[in-house]
Structure 1
């Protein structure tokens, strides 16, 4: 008999401290007898009744249990080889389905089931539509992520070459290709219908884990402004151009932030474009106290931000990485940590990744797996919710709060570098129309913008060629609608930057003296701040001031994409001025998929060059899959990233170190 047969009676009494009080003050839960319509403020004020109800259900559910989700649960697994439409590793262990069914747009390319490799566009659109309909019919909630292939190179989502985001924004050479991709999403989502003919509501989670550097839309491969604008464009195109009204939109950066919202919010597209505030985190520490503590701090931060904005907080992707089975109580430990935290316990759902079978790792234990008993215990805990626990998900009576007019400058984006004598200024105004839209440069005379066929207010900016000298200018746009005037602006750089020599990672001279532009060039892990230092450097006008704070986590890091062949070099060199602490620095080179490290101290306060021979780099202790490998010519031919981590030495929790002239020689 399925375990779920014993679960329902326990659901009615689940509360967690303050969460119970908060829940009591919320509008009546979905399915309650009431004639009042709850007003919901969501991205799409024309959303279907079911989509609005799903948003309200997820809001009301907070503090009453966490919905468990699994990616591709019906199409991939270890307990089946034939696609039967209902087989699932989760169901094989628990007798129940996940509450949240995760799918990916790779189905549209035929790269994931039920898509068909080599199938027609229409066949794969129908495949995604089927997946959404089937999950809904089984009582689940749909979440759609997007692992998009590189629109510039044709490589996969891990191919970070080509500054892709700038190429797919309006006016970019690959913009039409991106629109074609969105067209397929629109067709699949609009085609997904329930038995009563209503559209299946779907949570769309594009551009996830953008604060890391492993995807082409991630940190170091686009600026924050570019990310914000492509996210906004995606929403506006689907909602306004394609008239897709059964989507909720999720923003989901990846760990870790040390509980500090600064970097989390740096790429936030705005309340007008996000319904769900998410957070992705994977654990390679076997559920260590440090990882659990850091994850709870970050989730509590996300819940707080969601509460402030009237959004839904979610643990949008999680899982154990590294060797399987090191902690046989991993699921119970994680759920226990969530339940013990009054804020983190209020995430609406938590979704883990797919069981792709074969030699791949199992993110969900299957029958006979060493962690099966613990996953059953996780399932039986009344605070974990599966499909059989869901009731009245789409029953809430709601009305959408009308969206206020919103204006934003689409191109050029903030901190964009323009190297030509002519560029197009594009502005979008939603929720209103304007008879007078203009742009100005450095506060000069306004120039008229006209509405074009794509719905932008646009115009050509002719740039004096003498201005292409690495100067900084401000582009401002303005539109009057009714009695109100709406404005936006961006700082842009004019002219080329001299390229760095082969092997160089950074000399900190190419940022026009702008701290934000510097920060945008790196990915950031946990709490740190990077600024340019004119005082502490070894050459040129600037060095890097790298400030750390270990209050939220015992380490912090910055990273930059490389994508180079270093076989001509024998060492990694940089100038480093420490702060006299017992803390340490780890220089990390990612090459051919392996993570190699070299450690040095921070005690030298005078500043000196650190030379790290490649022969002395060792695989990171946690990178067990590459244990014993050498940073040899084969690896140096494929260097993908440089990272600089700082680790807590036990005495000094905050400080600043200085770095300059990072290069391979």
Structure 2
């Protein structure tokens, strides 16, 4: 049991913590990451910053052999499999170009677990880990019924059908087998398994993804609980994957004063699989953080999340946050003025002390197609780049130099 592992470690390390990862056979590095994140979250003077695919794509200007696109005043870039085959360096990173440091966390997605994609992800993951960064994985899986994208709502009771005995179970186990094989082979230069924070079925209390609630697929809260439990047990107990911390991360929009009550979306806890299956209690917020008049709801909900996580001996985190599309252009100081000031209670909000006790905040990808871009952090030359430097320099913010100096994979 997780508590038994925690008791042994409590004895060994002087009872600095009161729990353990939900995987009692977690690798030493994975257990160390868990404890370091828990202890970090207890300290309101330290919050780490992360960005999804931070070394995969960006907009700070690129060069060969990166794939590049010109967008008027700036050039976007993307790391490719060609660079993997050339053993190329992944030196481009928008956060680093602006601040001088990589983010403390980055992450990628399993998608359909195809070989070329996982080759690219594995290469960049190992590079990030070698810098001391923490790596996360999400899973925007295609609709297993229609094979449409993650936002496709064709089919009914899909989560039920993915469980053992269901028509879609075989296909799901095949995908899990591929993802498990990837995690088994994800090793550093010393041959040690690289720990990963895995966040499946995220934002499930909203209806936009096929696995969510309140859409034509008609999934239920129990369906979400069962598929999360099945997924953890399959990876951990059947496939023997022990280098994962499991994150549960609904979206903002529940009742900000009660995780068990609905608001604009279903309640935060509606799909909670239980304490035996979750290491990290996360919150994704693109809703309340976008408007000044809703920032109190943002910090109220975050505070309730932290209190719940502490009660359950889990790690609280802001697992996604951002302004999508080009909205950062019209609010270039958003990171410091809206996000950080609200969390600290210095502007726009009445202070909620618990809201500052999170291990990290994590934003989405700076990515450009041929014609348009999604920008979540200012790139070099963006009108908000100097404001982001102020955010970076705030005494409570931590980036990759912190994770490297403190080695998050050792007790």
**TM-score (normalised: structure 1):** 0.51
Deviation at 1:138, TM superposition (A): 1.6
Picking from 126, 149, 152, the partner of 2:142 is 149
In structure 2, the partner of 1:74 is: 55
In structure 2, the partner of 1:328 is: 332
In structure 1, the partner of 2:97 is: 92
Equivalents in 2 of 1:124, 1:213: separation in Å? 27
Deviation at 1:36, TM superposition (A): 4.4
In structure 1, the partner of 2:268 is: 264
Picking from 364, 373, 377, the partner of 1:353 is 364
In structure 2, the CA distance between the partners of 1:162 and 1:149, relative to structure 1 (3 Å rule), is same
In structure 2, the partner of 1:195 is: 189
In structure 2, the partner of 1:140 is: 133
8 Å contact from structure 2 (residues 253, 287) kept in 1: no
In structure 2, the partner of 1:620 is: none
What is the correspondence of 1:477-556 to structure 2 with a 5 Å cutoff?
none
**Greater RCO (Cα-Cα under 8 Å, separation 6 or more):** 2
8 Å contact from structure 2 (residues 289, 298) kept in 1: no
Deviation at 1:107, TM superposition (A): 7.2
Equivalents in 1 of 2:332, 2:270: separation in Å? 37
Structure ID, larger Rg: 1
- 2:25 is the counterpart of 1:46: yes
Equivalents in 2 of 1:264, 1:360: separation in Å? 31
Equivalents in 2 of 1:276, 1:285: separation in Å? 21
What is the correspondence of 1:388-407 to structure 2 with a 5 Å cutoff?
388-390=401-403, 391-396=406-411
In structure 2, the CA distance between the partners of 1:105 and 1:207, relative to structure 1 (3 Å rule), is same
In structure 1, the partner of 2:389 is: 376
Deviation at 1:194, TM superposition (A): 1.9
In structure 2, the partner of 1:212 is: 206
**Aligned residues between the structures:** 351
Deviation at 1:187, TM superposition (A): 1.2
Equivalents in 2 of 1:296, 1:42: separation in Å? 27
Deviation at 1:286, TM superposition (A): 4.6
Deviation at 1:368, TM superposition (A): 1.1
In structure 2, the CA distance between the partners of 1:373 and 1:284, relative to structure 1 (3 Å rule), is farther
Deviation at 1:184, TM superposition (A): 1.4
- 2:248 is the counterpart of 1:233: no
Q: Deviations over 1:404-459 (max 9, x none)?
A: xxxxxxxxxxxxxxxxxxxxxxxxxxxxxxxxxxxxxxxxxxxxxxxxxxxxxxxx
Q: Deviations over 1:558-605 (max 9, x none)?
A: xxxxxxxxxxxxxxxxxxxxxxxxxxxxxxxxxxxxxxxxxxxxxxxx
Deviation at 1:372, TM superposition (A): 0.9
In structure 2, the CA distance between the partners of 1:43 and 1:283, relative to structure 1 (3 Å rule), is same
SS of equivalent residue, structure 1 residue 343: helix
Equivalents in 2 of 1:201, 1:286: separation in Å? 32
- 2:248 is the counterpart of 1:251: yes
8 Å contact from structure 1 (residues 275, 311) kept in 2: yes
SS of equivalent residue, structure 1 residue 317: strand
Equivalents in 1 of 2:323, 2:39: separation in Å? 29
Deviation at 1:283, TM superposition (A): 4.5
More strand by share: 1
Equivalents in 2 of 1:132, 1:190: separation in Å? 14
Q: Deviations over 1:347-402 (max 9, x none)?
A: 11111000112411210110111111111111111211100112131221xxxxxx
In structure 2, the CA distance between the partners of 1:254 and 1:302, relative to structure 1 (3 Å rule), is same
In structure 2, the partner of 1:282 is: 286
In structure 2, the partner of 1:363 is: 376
Equivalents in 1 of 2:129, 2:399: separation in Å? 13
- 2:322 is the counterpart of 1:319: yes
Picking from 281, 304, 309, the partner of 1:301 is 304
8 Å contact from structure 1 (residues 286, 327) kept in 2: no
8 Å contact from structure 1 (residues 69, 98) kept in 2: yes
8 Å contact from structure 2 (residues 112, 175) kept in 1: no
- 2:343 is the counterpart of 1:338: yes
In structure 2, the CA distance between the partners of 1:206 and 1:244, relative to structure 1 (3 Å rule), is same
Deviation at 1:266, TM superposition (A): 1.6
Equivalents in 2 of 1:146, 1:193: separation in Å? 21
SS of equivalent residue, structure 1 residue 344: helix
8 Å contact from structure 1 (residues 283, 319) kept in 2: no
- 2:290 is the counterpart of 1:292: no
Equivalents in 2 of 1:65, 1:37: separation in Å? 22
SS of equivalent residue, structure 2 residue 198: strand
Equivalents in 1 of 2:15, 2:354: separation in Å? 28
**TM-score (normalised: structure 2):** 0.82
SS of equivalent residue, structure 2 residue 318: strand
In structure 1, the partner of 2:277 is: 273
SS of equivalent residue, structure 1 residue 182: helix
| Structure 2 segments unaligned to the other structure (5+ residues) | 1-5, 7-11, 67-78, 80-88, 261-266, 346-351
SS of equivalent residue, structure 2 residue 378: coil
SS of equivalent residue, structure 2 residue 30: helix
More helix by share: 2
In structure 2, the partner of 1:425 is: none
Equivalents in 1 of 2:353, 2:13: separation in Å? 32
Equivalents in 2 of 1:75, 1:272: separation in Å? 33
Deviation at 1:200, TM superposition (A): 0.6
What is the correspondence of 1:564-643 to structure 2 with a 5 Å cutoff?
none
Equivalents in 1 of 2:303, 2:150: separation in Å? 30
Q: Deviations over 1:71-97 (max 9, x none)?
A: 101111112261252211111111110
8 Å contact from structure 1 (residues 278, 314) kept in 2: yes
